[in-house]
Structures are given as C-alpha cells and as structure tokens.
Amino acid sequence: MIASFNNLQQRIFLPISTTNIYQSDNILTLIQTQPKFQHLLSQHQQAIAAELISKWSRADFFFRQVYLEFKTLLKQPQEWEHLVATISNYGYVMTSEQLRRSILRELFIDTHYAFYNGLISKTEQPQWNARCFVHIDYIQQWLELSVFSDEEVLSLLAEGWRQRINTCKNTKKWRPAINCCQQRLKLLPHNIDFQGELAEIYYFETLARCSQINSQWQHSQNVRKLQHGINKLEKLLKQYPHCPITFQLLSSLYHIRALNLSHINQIAKSLVSIQKAVSYNPFSKKAYQTRNELVELMTQLQQQMSGYIVDIKRRGMQLNHKGLQLLNQVNIGFKPMNNYINSEEAKQITTAYKIAEAIYVWHRIGLPEPQDTTTALRLNEALYSILQHPPQTKAEIATVWENIVKKQPHLASLSNTRVCSYLEECLFRERAVPPIPEIPPPVLTPILTKPQMSTEPLIPWLLSPQDKRIKLQALVASVLIAATGFVMVREKTTIAKRDNAYQDILTAQQTQNDEAVLKATKNFFQNQSFISKDERTSQITEIYQEALVRWFVQQPKAEITPEQQQYLDLYSKYVQEN
C-alpha cells in the first residue's frame, strides 16, 4: 500500500472518490470555472470512470491526454495567475507554483496511487506487466513535471518499485527489471542501494544465460557469456563508481569465469581471472581459496610436465594436441597473473573499492555529500577501529567517538549525532521504525483486474496530439487506398472503352471506312492503361497507318485542317512510339 501526500489534500481534496471528487464544495469547484481547467478535469474524470470499469485503452487515452494538457498549461503562466486570483476571492491564498504542485501531487499523482493500491490489493501474485504497475509508470511521468526531494520520491515510489522489481526477479523477466531500475535511477541517481540492485539484475541475468552442463564446449560458452556480463558491470561501475555491491558482483563473475577457464585447461587465464576477483573483493574468502587451489594446480602441472617432457624425449615420442595445450599453459605459468598484480589496473581497482566502501558508509550515516574522498576514507577507518573494539553499552558510544575526534580533529566537523546513531545501529542492531501516516492512503478499486473491451474515443483521439505517427500512417494508408480505388475504377472503365474502340476499328476496316478507323484508333489510344500493356497495340498501329495514308491522300489540296493535324499528332505520339 502506497502512502499519499496529505497536506493540501487533507484540507481540500479528500475524500478522493468517483462520486464527489468533482462535486464537493472545494477548490476543484472553483478550478472548474476556468474553461481550460474545466476541460482538463473533465478528461481526468473520464479517465477515472473508464479505469473503474477496467476499460484500459479508453482510460489510458484520457490519462495521457490529461498529462499533455497539464504540460501545456504549465507553459501558460497567465492562466495560473488568473486561476489564483479567482480562488483567492474565496479565501484560498496560495501562489501559482503552490497551486500547480498541489494539483499535480494531490490530485493527479494520488489518483494513480489510489488505483495502484486498489489493484495490488486484489492481485495475489501480480505479473511483471500487471495493470497496477502501469500506474507506477504514470506516477514517474508526472514526477518529471516538478521538483521533488529524494525523501519525497522514496515515500511515493519505494513500495511500488520494490513490488515490481521482485515480480520481475521471480518471473526471470530481466529486461523489464533492468528498465525499472534504470527509470528509478533517473529520479534518484545518487542512491547507492538502487545502483546495487541494478548491478544485481545484470548479475542474475548473466548467470541465467550460463549452463551447468559439464562439457568443454559448454564451459567455453560460459566463459564468453560471463565476459559479456562482466563488461556490462564494469561499464555500470564507471557510471556509478561508489557502489560496493557492483565490486562484489564483479568479483563473483570473475570467480565463476576462473572456474570455467580451469575446466577447459586455460589455467594461466584462470589465474588472472581469479586475481581480478580478489582485487574487486579483497574480503572474499572463497576467491582466496580458489586462487590458492589454482596456484597449487599450476605448480603441480609445471613439476609434472617437466619430468614428463624428459621422459617423452628419452622415448622419442611426441605430445598430442591436449598435451601441447598443457605444455603451453605451463610455459606461460604465473607471468600473466604477476603482470596483472603489478599493473596500474589492479592498484586502481583496490583504491576504488576502498573509496566505494567509505562513500557507502558515509551515505548510510546520512551525512551530506563529501567534498573529497579523503575525509570519507578517514571516517571509515575510524569506524572500523571502533567496530573492531566495540563499547559494551550504548552510553559508551558517544565517549568513544569523542576520543576518536580528539585524535583526528579533521572529523570534528561531522555530525556526532548521526555518527553515533550509525554505530548504535551497527553494534546493537536497532533500526528506526518509520512513522505511521496521519491519513490512510487513497484507494480506488476497479471492478476487475482484467481488461474489458474498449478503444480510444474516435473523435477526441483524432483531435488530440497523441499517436501522431499512427495518424500519419493512417492518413497515408487512406490516400493510398483512395488512389488505388480510383485507379482500379478507371482501369475497369478504360478496358471497356478500349475493347469497344478495338471492335469499331475492325468493323471500319472491313467496310474500308478509313475515317472511322482513325476516329476509333484515336479513342483507343486516348484510353491508356496504367497497369498493363495492350497486346493489340501493334495490330492497331498497322491498321491506323494504312488508313491514315489512304484518308490523307483523299483530302483536298489545301492547308492542313485541325482535324488532320490531330490525326498526324496521334501518329507521331503513339504510332511511331509503338
């Protein structure tokens, strides 16, 4: 269940329901006196009505339309000033910005909260694409239109995000889970826990692609897939360098990759991979254990191959392909691993891990953003020393911290209260209980959790700015259909006229009526087909040519008449071409 904003809504907008939200004697009644706002609230009312009867397509249209219209109104300050002046006459004193935020937060956002709460309460095991999560998307969209603190965003969306991501994890829908985590980080980019959860999704996605089948080919495929996952996490680490979880998950992937490399006798590469696992997480006991086992394996191989090569040469034999591979690994030995240990990359990873841990602890304490990493590192070292030799009671924590500050004056600027609270939580495991909301969260429960047949209202959809591409495609399709229909009708008429003209030509030829031949031929060529070529054209061309010569010779010796010129032009245009 998600909590709502409760300040202005408690005074004005509550109770939120379909029957009285737009009819009660409150500020909404005054807002509806302005035409643009009246239309906005009317659209919102229709969206609620459609959602309550589970007509999702219709509801989505109106929800999107409300968002677009409100976004447009934000660019019209004179409308808000006029509205503020109107409601001030009735005792509501607020600025334009306060009114905008109140309507956005306590009407539109809370409407989607109410539907989320109603739908999630009716769904035992929601799917990753359940309708309740669509309202989470709407809330995120509305949040982009104003400025909210991190605490406000968390109070609004933490529960919905958790439910949605857990659903995706349980159903192994990794891509929707990644999208949800990325959307969450757009709103809260500095939340290290959320950064770590995105890294976990990438990690689980990578493991899901790997197989546990024990074969050379499968281990080779696993190595490739693990490297792909490692590349994703290393890219994520560059974007969010202060997330310890990402370091630990990278260590785990390098560890698994090292094991797969050892199964395909790539021992030298396996040693490098396990050393990277140790670099990314120097506290991983399993990584150290595997590294020791691989070092021992390489040492044994070098000893065995040394004696084996001597024996092979003595017998005059040669190594097979597998033997040559092992010999190559033995010759490479520990050199790549030692090169990595002494590299700048390894040193940078070790330093980056320490900084990430220090910054993470800094944020958990609740201190403001550090100006440099040095203070965070010193604080982390001081806290580590206290946790290694902890005080026996809560009362001693403040004294212990005061002694630390005396020895390290650079820590004196930090909040003693926050640091001591963190130590108390770590040592005595007591967490603060979140306060109970003053008012119950809004709930709007649709009749069904499955969609009912519905479509966008045609006329409002056509007049709205939504789906411009679809409308353009529909317009182009309509033009093409109309053009095709016109061509087909014309083609049918043209074929009939050409058939009649052809029969007239043959009849006139039999009766040796040359002028009739010319007129019928003119009619034939003036009705050209857009689609196909008429096979009778060559026959008609010959008949026309002979008839034209005979007819022209019989004409009086005078200037060429317009009629004669038409027949000559027809001869030039069609007959000569054919």
Q: 38-48 burial string, b = 16+ CB within 10 Å, else e?
A: eebbebbebbb
Return the pLDDT at 346.
Answer: 95
Return the pLDDT at 506.
Answer: 82
User: Among 173-187, 301-315, 488-502, which is the least confidently predicted range?
Assistant: 301-315
Classify the C-alpha dihedral 436-439-441-443 as positive or negative: positive
Contact call for residues 318 and 305 (beta carbons, < 8 A): no
**Exposure of 256 by Cβ count < 10 A (0-12 exposed, 13-18 middle, 19+ buried)?**
buried
Does residue 289 have a pLDDT over 90? yes
pLDDT (mean) for 481-500: 79
pLDDT (mean) for 196-204: 97
Q: Using one digit for the tens of pLDDT, what is the confidence trace for 519-569?
A: 777 777 777 776 777 778 778 777 877 777 777 777 776 666 777 677 777
Q: Provide, rounded to the nearest whole percent, the portion of the chain with pLDDT above 70.
A: 84
Does residue 430 have a pLDDT over 90? no
Q: Using one digit for the tens of pLDDT, what is the confidence trace for 76-87?
A: 999 989 888 888
What's the rounded Cα separation, in Å, for the pair 126 and 131?
9
Q: What is the chain's length?
A: 578
pLDDT (mean) for 176-200: 95
Return the pLDDT at 311.
Answer: 60
Q: Which structure tokens are listed for 520?
A: 């019928």
Angstrom CA distances, 278 to 33, 210, 229, 244, 350, stand at: 68, 22, 18, 14, 9
What's the rounded Cα separation, in Å, for the pair 36 and 39?
5
| DSSP-derived secondary structure for 67-79 | HHHHHHHTT-HHH
What's the rounded Cα separation, in Å, for the pair 105 and 5?
7
Q: Which structure tokens are listed for 415?
A: 């909040």
Contact call for residues 382 and 422 (beta carbons, < 8 A): no
Question: In Å, how far from its chain's centre is CA 401?
Answer: 46
The closest of 160, 118, 169, 122 to 140, measured between CA atoms, is 160
**199 against 87, higher pLDDT:** 199
Does residue 198 have a pLDDT over 90? yes
**Exposure of 348 by Cβ count < 10 A (0-12 exposed, 13-18 middle, 19+ buried)?**
exposed
CA atoms within 13 A on the CB side of 323: 10
Q: 301-324 burial string, b = 16+ CB within 10 Å, else e?
A: beeebeebeeeeeeeeeeeeeeee
Return the pLDDT at 173.
Answer: 94
**460 against 141, higher pLDDT:** 141
**58 against 476, higher pLDDT:** 58
Return the pLDDT at 23.
Answer: 41
Does residue 238 have a pLDDT over 80? yes
Q: Using one digit for the tens of pLDDT, what is the confidence trace for 314-367?
A: 555 566 666 666 777 778 889 999 999 999 999 999 999 999 999 999 999 988
Q: Which residue has the tokens 């069904």?
A: 448
Contact call for residues 341 and 275 (beta carbons, < 8 A): yes
DSSP designation for 531: S
Q: Using one digit for the tens of pLDDT, what is the confidence trace for 448-476?
A: 767 777 666 665 656 666 666 766 777 67
Mean pLDDT of the chain: 83
Q: Provide, rounded to the nearest whole percent, the portion of the chain with pLDDT above 90.
A: 39
Contact call for residues 267 and 302 (beta carbons, < 8 A): no
Return the pLDDT at 161.
Answer: 95
Q: Which residue has the tokens 């990359």?
A: 345
Q: 549-570 burial string, b = 16+ CB within 10 Å, else e?
A: eebeeeeeeeeeeeebeebeeb
Contact call for residues 267 and 329 (beta carbons, < 8 A): yes
What's the rounded Cα separation, in Å, for the pair 498 and 160?
71
**570 against 99, higher pLDDT:** 99
Does residue 20 have a pLDDT over 50? no
Q: 125-142 burial string, b = 16+ CB within 10 Å, else e?
A: ebebebbbbbbbebbbbb
Return the pLDDT at 26.
Answer: 63
Return the pLDDT at 24.
Answer: 41
| DSSP-derived secondary structure for 291-350 | HHHHHHHHHHHHHHHHHHHHHHHHHT----HHHHHHHHHHHHTTHHHHHHHTSHHHHHHH
Contact call for residues 397 and 420 (beta carbons, < 8 A): yes
Does residue 441 have a pLDDT over 80? no
Does residue 102 have a pLDDT over 70? yes
Does residue 267 have a pLDDT over 80? yes
Does residue 376 have a pLDDT over 50? yes
What's the rounded Cα separation, in Å, for the pair 181 and 240?
13
Amino acid at 245: I
User: Among 419-428, 430-439, 523-532, which is the least confidently predicted range?
Assistant: 430-439
What's the rounded Cα separation, in Å, for the pair 123 and 132?
9
Return the pLDDT at 168.
Answer: 95
Question: In Å, how far from its chain's centre is CA 297?
Answer: 46
Amino acid at 195: Q
Contact call for residues 227 and 258 (beta carbons, < 8 A): no
**3-state SS, residue 435:** coil
Contact call for residues 43 and 65 (beta carbons, < 8 A): yes
pTM of full prediction above 0.85: no
Q: Where are the domains of the chain?
A: 1-144, 191-367, 369-449, 468-575
What's the rounded Cα separation, in Å, for the pair 113 and 134?
11
Residues with Cβ within 8 Å of 322's Cβ and at least 6 positions away in sequence, in order, are: 265
Contact call for residues 215 and 170 (beta carbons, < 8 A): no
Does residue 281 have a pLDDT over 50? yes
Cα Rg of the chain, angstroms: 40
